[in-house]
Each structure stands twice: as C-alpha cells, then as structure tokens.
C-alpha cells in the first residue's frame, strides 16, 4: 500500500464542470507537490507546499487551484478546464520541500489521477 493516496483514480469532466482531486499522505512529511504528466512530455511541477504554505507556483493557469488545509492533505480544484489539460496528475510528498536538501532526497508519489477533459 502506497504512503500517498490519490482519489479519484480516474475522472472525466466537461469543460464547464468543477471537480477536485484529493491527495493524502500518511508519511508524516512536511512538503507536498502536484505534478502533471502529459503524453510525450516531461513531468511538470505545478505546485509545491511546505508546511501548508505554497512555496512554488510554476506559472500554472488559474483554472487549477490548489489547497493544502494541513500537512497531510492536498487538493487540486479544477474549473473550466480545456481538453489539453487531460493528463495524469501526480501528487508527491517529501520530508522537506526541495528534495535535494532532504535526508534522502526522495519523493514519494501517489498512483495519480487520470483526468480526461471532454
């Protein structure tokens, strides 16, 4: 069982819908991340939260709205998405933000939420 759980695993939504992706980590980590994985593209870092504060926003369109109510939970609220937003959205956690400075430098990933925008 993974220490990072993402729900839903699959989501199909229309361009006018509003939905949310949820991530929960059971590892006692202080940093959480959203990544976007599109076909034939590198993983794109979207947001980084450290101790529930957003520390990085990589020029992500405002139709993606993250929320981190506590260090164990991370949400990605979606509204008025475009078909090109269809992708696998991966959540990850680490002991501290900036994996190179962490003890192991390891990110723990969830299994992802496969989003299809019609």
Binding site for another protein (CB under 8 A): 2, 4, 33, 40-43, 45, 48, 56, 88, 90, 92, 97-101, 104-112, 114
Q: How far is the CB of 18 from another protein (least distance, A)?
A: 24
Q: How far is the CB of 80 from another protein (least distance, A)?
A: 26
Please tell me the distance from the alpha carbon of residue 74 to that of residue 43, in angstroms, as a whole number. Answer: 18
**Nearest residue (CB) to another protein, 8 versus 14:** 8
**Nearest residue (CB) to another protein, 42 versus 69:** 42
Which residues are 117's β-sheet partners? 13
**Nearest residue (CB) to another protein, 78 versus 91:** 91
* 19-57: b (≥16 Cβ within 10 Å) or e: bebbbbbeeebbbbbbbbeeeeeeeeebbbbbebeeeee
């Amino acid at each position: 069982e993974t220490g990072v759980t993402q729900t839903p695993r699959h989501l199909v939504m229309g361009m006018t819908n509003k939905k949310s992706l949820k991530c929960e980590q059971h590892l006692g980590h202080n940093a959480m991340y959203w990544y976007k994985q599109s076909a034939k593209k590198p993983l794109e870092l979207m947001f980084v939260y450290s101790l529930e504060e957003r520390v990085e926003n990589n020029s992500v369109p405002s139709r993606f709205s993250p929320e981190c109510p506590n260090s164990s939970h991370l949400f990605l609220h979606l509204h008025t998405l475009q078909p090109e937003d269809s992708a696998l959205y991966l959540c990850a956690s680490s002991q501290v933000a900036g994996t190179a400075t962490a003890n192991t430098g390891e990110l723990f990933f969830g299994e992802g939420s496969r989003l299809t925008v019609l």
